[in-house]
């Protein structure tokens, strides 16, 4: 029998086209929690595409959920960063976001025994080769996580 795979129903994002006004990168951690708690989103996507969001944003957002709410990542909330595309932006930015996912997961496992991030969004994909390259980048990063977990 197949296990049930659960997906978020409503995902909020930090996309750089805000509807109601500018939100600084320093405010994005609180915005993430507010979107989930106030508006009922069960998914949140830190966005790096086409903007200069600090690489460690994932590392800063995960503790806001672990320490500031009763929500358990993967069970109650899906954190799914939108990684920069290595072709349209650059590979370094993509790798730095992947490293921040590794660090966020390491910290989450140390704090609560739960991996907080299991997937990435790969925007602006033109070919399957780009996905395969990104997957290889994550495989290359996985040993650096130090606890055996990581993106699937």
How does pLDDT run along the chain (152 residues), one tens digit per residue?
Answer: 556 667 788 888 876 655 667 777 788 888 889 888 998 888 888 887 777 777 888 999 999 998 889 988 888 889 999 888 888 887 888 888 888 998 999 989 998 888 899 888 887 788 888 888 888 877 877 776 555 444 54
User: Strand, coil or helix: what is 146?
Assistant: coil
β-strands 78-79, 11-13: how paired?
unpaired
What are the CA-CA distances from residue 96 to residues 17, 60, 110, 138 (Å)? 23, 14, 21, 11
Q: Which residues contact 110 (CB under 8 A, 6 or more apart)?
A: 147
CA 126 – CA 14 distance, rounded (Å): 23
Question: Which element (helix H / strand E) includes 64?
Answer: helix 57-68
């Amino acid at each position: 029998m197949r296990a049930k795979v659960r997906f978020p129903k409503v995902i909020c994002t930090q996309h750089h086209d805000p509807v109601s006004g500018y939100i600084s990168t320093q405010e994005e951690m609180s915005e993430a929690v507010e979107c989930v708690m106030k508006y009922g989103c069960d998914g949140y996507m830190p966005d790096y595409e086409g903007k200069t969001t600090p690489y460690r944003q994932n590392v800063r957002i995960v503790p806001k959920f672990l320490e500031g709410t009763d929500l358990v990542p993967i069970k109650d909330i899906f954190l799914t960063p939108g990684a920069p595309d290595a072709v349209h932006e650059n590979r370094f930015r993509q790798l730095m976001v992947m490293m921040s996912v590794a660090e966020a997961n390491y910290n989450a496992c140390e704090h609560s025994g739960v991996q907080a991030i299991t997937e990435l969004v790969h925007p602006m994909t033109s070919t399957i080769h780009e996905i395969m390259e990104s997957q290889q980048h994550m495989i290359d990063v996985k040993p650096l996580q130090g606890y055996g977990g990581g993106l699937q």
